[in-house]
Amino acid sequence: MLKFIGRRALFAAFTILIVSAVVFAIFSFLPFDPAALTCGQRCTDQIVEANRVRLGFDKPIYEQYWLFLSGIFAGRTYGAGSAAFTCPAPSFGYSFNENACVTDMIREALPITISLAVGALILWLIVGIGLGIVAAKFKNRWPDTSSSVFVLLATSLPTFVTGLALLIWVTIKWKLVPLSLSGYTSLIDNPFKFFQYFILPWITLAIAYAAIYTRFTRAALLETLGEDYIRTARAKGVGERVVFFKHTLRAVLAPLITMAGLDFAGLIGGAIITETIFNLPGLGRLTLRSVYEFDLSVVLATTILAAVVVIVMNLIVDMLYAVLDPRVRIA
Amino acid sequence: MTELLRIQDLHVAFKTDDGMVRAVDGVSLTLNAGETVAIVGESGSGKTVTSLSVMGLHKKGSAEISGAISLNDHGTFKDVVSLNDDQIRDIRGRAVSMIFQDPMSSLHPYYKIGNQLAEAYLVHNPGKKKEAMARAIEMLDLVGIPEPAKRAVEFPHQFSGGMRQRVMIAMALMNSPQILIADEPTTALDVTVQAQILALLSKLKKEFNMGILLITHDLGVVAQVADRVNVMYAGRIVEEGAVDDIFYSPLAPYTLGLLKSVPRVTANNERLKAIPGQPPSLINLPVGCPFAPRCEYKQHSSESGCNSTKPELIGTSETHRSRCHIPEALRKDLFTKEVKELQS
């Protein structure tokens, strides 16, 4: 098991290195002058050239990449003399648009996105798997039919429709959840406010995903119920409830966890639409804003971060799979 | 001889969109302690459906079952057809056990072998975890798995096909049932492993004084282990008799066809003599003998009965019975000659 984890971790680190190099290369070859983007309307060539030297854009690409990499581990100082400023490690660059270290910007946005993703994940796992179980248990009866109506509706409604609808009715018309103007409060500081802040975004995301999980759980359960080993369990005299909740559900767990891990990783990369609708200053919004403003150092950092999350989640899912499925351990 | 199982006039039909599929159409048979009774027939002849009925494993909604399956549960006879779900569940794995065709997929991939075996015991003896594990290891040892205590904590994928079938047998015997149903137990295995499994089944039959109901399409297996044979075609038994009756003096044209279609080592470049045609659809059975469209002896029938009525199961002797419209004496003559030719 340790050997398996070690090998996979090494492989993951290597993948991350390659991804960062590719992303860095793409951004370097974009037809923009990154130095020219650093100053506003009253710009002179002098300032541009000074910024070019300060940010290291005058150096060859491989050296820039090396500076970027070493910045992550050692921090990075821009400029020299009294004008010098430092982004401490881990430094992912400096945003001239915001006059801030990229790392600090991500540090502010990340908890919001993680709170959004974790809450939504929990919600959609409960609803999706729950409905899937009910649908499979009562196949072709009314609970199954109503759950497929939910699946159909939820998969066909895009998040900007459900999100806006929730906002308009629940917050503005029925005033069930107050419009939060005070901004993000962490779970530890004020749990009640935290839930108030996130409940609608959670529901918005969860609806879309729960539908997929309902359909998947139902299909996987019904398929497993037809397996030979389920017939064996019945032949032993095992009761229907144990057959369903032990033998059948256990077999469905591993693929469900794989799916959940990858979907979760995708959300950390940014639930752009949901964050925009509910005005959540998370990673998605940060990326979107940076793209509009050509804030390339931020886009570079968030892109690499999204890739890293996907790779790390893959690693975690693989390790979980090895725990859940005994057949994987030897491979 | 203790009677363990008596199936009487069993009918099983399944509702489908195309109509009722009459998978089993009036099957009667008995099984006694210490004997192996084979049910032989091609795919779709109703042999597996018959055996699943004994286990009560048909879904309540989809199958219509009538007739009687009287099963000896350690002294008291119970009619499986009329039992409710809980009563059938109580019999399964305790009074009657079953092993299946494909040992590769019949074990749960995520649970340890020992736990899967122990579960069979725990279902009928709740709470006795220690005894269950001890029994599991004892049974693994009995079916010839080396180092049973070590293998018990392994998973199914760490076992070969033959070993898994041994595990399935061990699981079936956890509660020392009197009846063992073996549904094509060797079909998915190598020939050498087949022989080992059959020998093991014979050995265990004596040890447990069980009756084995052997479902197979392999006449080689039947010749090796069966005491009595039931040949099924289109949901009905077309011939029943002692194993020698079936192999040396068959009386149903279908039985003879099966015997003739067994590949032979001595046949030089001869084509395999398969029975022509396909088994009939079980939704629209012909009015006459279901085998008539494929029967090459039809012209010997004195009456034109083959196409108009279904033949009855008529006894030549106390134990040997068959269904055919051709006069018995004529059949004996014709078929014995052909069997002799086959054996020369």
- Other beta carbons less than 10 A from residue B326's beta carbon: 23
Percent of chain A with pLDDT over 70: 96
pLDDT at B304: 65
User: Residue B38 carries which side chain, given as an amino acid letter?
Assistant: A
How many helices (DSSP H) and strands (DSSP E) are in chain B? 11, 12
Q: What is the mean pLDDT of residues A214-239?
A: 95
**pLDDT at position A297 over 90:** no
Contact state of A251 with B110 under an 8 Å Cβ cutoff? yes
Minimal CA separation from B121 to chain A, in Å: 8
pLDDT at A180: 66
Q: Which of A261-265, B212-216, B301-305 has the lowest mean pLDDT?
A: B301-305
Segments in chain B forming alpha helices (H): 47-55, 85-91, 113-124, 129-142, 148-151, 161-172, 191-208, 219-225, 243-248, 253-260, 328-343
Distance CA B179, CA A273 (A): 64
DSSP state of B302: S
Average pLDDT, chain A: 88
B275, part of any domain: no
Q: Are B136 and B117 in contact (CB under 8 A)?
A: yes
**pLDDT at position B263 over 60:** yes
**pLDDT at position B280 over 90:** no
Nearest by Cα to B234 from B47, B55, B67, B53: B47
- Work out the pLDDT band at A29, boundaries 50, 70, 90: confident
pLDDT at A78: 81
Distance CA B335, CA B319 (A): 19
Q: Which residues pair with A78 in a beta bridge?
A: A85
Q: Which of A59-63, B12-16, B74-78, B302-306 has the lowest mean pLDDT?
A: B302-306
User: Residue B250 carries which side chain, given as an amino acid letter?
Assistant: P
Class of the CATH-defined domain A103-326: mainly alpha
- Work out the pLDDT band at A189, boundaries 50, 70, 90: confident
**Sign of the CA dihedral B191, B193, B199, B202?**
negative
Q: Name the residue facing A238 among B100, B102, B123 (closest C-beta).
A: B123
Q: Please provide residue B169's backbone torsions phi and psi, each rounded to the nearest 5 degrees.
A: -65, -45
Minimal CA separation from A182 to chain B, in Å: 50
Domain coordinates in residue numbering, chain A = 103-326
B2, part of any domain: no
- Other beta carbons less than 10 A from residue A246's beta carbon: 16
Distance CA A37, CA A228 (A): 64
Residue B158 lies in domain: 100-175
Strand B179-183 and strand B96-99: the pairing is parallel
Residues present in chain A in total: 331
Percent of chain B with pLDDT over 90: 66
pLDDT at B72: 93
Q: Which of A149-158, A206-215, B179-188, B308-317 has the lowest mean pLDDT?
A: B308-317
**pLDDT at position A267 over 80:** yes
Contact state of B98 with A235 under an 8 Å Cβ cutoff? yes
Residue in this structure with the two tokens 């939504």, named with its chain if needed: A120
pLDDT in tens, B82-111: 999 999 999 999 999 999 988 889 999 999
How many folded domains does chain B comprise? 1
Percent of chain A with pLDDT over 90: 43
Contact state of A229 with B109 under an 8 Å Cβ cutoff? yes
pLDDT in tens, A132-186: 999 999 999 999 999 999 999 999 999 899 999 998 998 888 888 877 666 777 8
pLDDT at A283: 92
Minimal CA separation from B156 to chain A, in Å: 9
pLDDT at B279: 87
Q: Please provide residue B180's backbone torsions phi and psi, each rounded to the nearest 5 degrees.
A: -120, 125
- Work out the pLDDT band at B343, boundaries 50, 70, 90: confident
Distance CA B43, CA B37 (A): 18
pLDDT at B150: 96
User: Residue B242 carries which side chain, given as an amino acid letter?
Assistant: A
Q: Please provide residue A31's backbone torsions phi and psi, each rounded to the nearest 5 degrees.
A: -75, 45
pLDDT at A148: 94
Question: Which long-range contacts (C-beta less than 8 Å, at least 24 apart) are formed by A168-174?
Answer: A170/A200, A171/A200
**Sign of the CA dihedral A130, A132, A133, A135?**
positive
Contact state of B102 with A250 under an 8 Å Cβ cutoff? no
Q: Is B6 on the interface with A (CB under 8 A)?
A: no
Q: What is the mean pLDDT of residues B200-205?
A: 94
Residue A114, helix vs strand vs coil = helix
Contact state of A326 with B100 under an 8 Å Cβ cutoff? no
Distance CA B46, CA B118 (A): 32
Residue of B nearest to A225 (CA): B108
The residue with greater pLDDT, B55 or B303, is B55
Question: Going by C-beta distance under 8 Å and a sequence separation of 6 or more, which residues neighbour residue B168?
Answer: A232, B99, B100, B103, B106, B107
Q: Is B63 on the interface with A (CB under 8 A)?
A: no
pLDDT at A234: 95
**pLDDT at position B302 over 70:** no
Q: Are B20 and B3 in contact (CB under 8 A)?
A: no
pLDDT at A182: 66
**pLDDT at position A37 over 80:** no
Residue of A nearest to B51 (CA): A235
Q: Which residues pair with A101 in a beta bridge?
A: A94
Q: Which of A75-79, A224-228, B257-261, B335-339 has the lowest mean pLDDT?
A: A75-79
pLDDT at B131: 95
Q: Are A225 and A233 in contact (CB under 8 A)?
A: no
Question: Going by C-beta distance under 8 Å and a sequence separation of 6 or more, which residues neighbour residue A220?
Answer: A132, A251, A252, A255, A256
Average pLDDT, chain B: 91
Q: A interface mutation test: which of B51, B55, B119 has the most A CBs within 10 A?
A: B119
pLDDT at A94: 86
Q: Is B91 on the interface with A (CB under 8 A)?
A: yes
pLDDT at A330: 52
**pLDDT at position B181 over 90:** yes
- Work out the pLDDT band at B180, boundaries 50, 70, 90: very high
Contact state of A325 with B110 under an 8 Å Cβ cutoff? yes
Minimal CA separation from B224 to chain A, in Å: 26
* Strand ranges (E), A134-266: none
Torsion of CA B48, B54, B57, B61, to 10 degrees: 100
